């Protein structure tokens, strides 16, 4: 199951990770268990953040920015990761 991640525009790869390990992977993230492990730890840590005693984490998506962008979210006990190209469109300065 790819959970529809392959249809995301300009995606370079994806991972679907559960408590037990990698459920699906493709593209530049195919079989990348190391990245999956690192991302799992990051997401676990970030999901502990709370704003002013709120019940839920204060974010829906986490982005790791470098030459490309890793986008991460959690749904139904699974972590979804997609690697996308950065925007090539720079703001036009007039």
Partner 1 sequence: MVIEDVVIVCECDTYVVPQDPDVYKPLIPHPNPDSKPLNSTEWSSASVPSARTDEQALLTSILFKTALNIIDVSAADSQGMEQHEYMDKARQYSTKLALLSNSLSQKKPLPLPSLTSQPHQVLASDLVPYSDVQQVSKIAAYAYSAISQIKVDAKEELVVQFAIP
Which CB, 34 or 61, lies closer to partner 1?
61
Q: Which stretch binds partner 1 (CB under 8 A): 20-28, 30-38, 41-49?
A: 41-49
Give Cα separations from 16 to 45, 49, 87, 91 (angstroms): 18, 22, 24, 33
53 touching partner 1, by CB under 8 A: no
66 touching partner 1, by CB under 8 A: no
Q: What are phi and psi of 13, to 5 degrees?
A: 165, 165
SS3 call for 39: helix
Q: How many residues bind partner 1 (CB under 8 A)?
A: 33
69 touching partner 1, by CB under 8 A: yes
């Amino acid at each position: 199951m790819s959970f529809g991640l392959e249809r995301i525009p300009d995606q370079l790869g994806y991972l679907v990770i559960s408590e037990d390990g990698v459920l699906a992977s493709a593209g530049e993230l195919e079989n990348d268990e190391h990245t999956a492990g690192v991302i799992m730890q990051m997401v676990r840590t970030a999901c502990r953040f709370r704003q002013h005693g709120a019940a839920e984490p204060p974010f829906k998506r986490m982005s790791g920015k470098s030459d490309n962008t890793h986008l991460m979210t959690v749904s139904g006990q699974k972590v979804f990761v997609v690697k996308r190209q950065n925007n090539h469109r720079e703001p036009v300065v007039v």
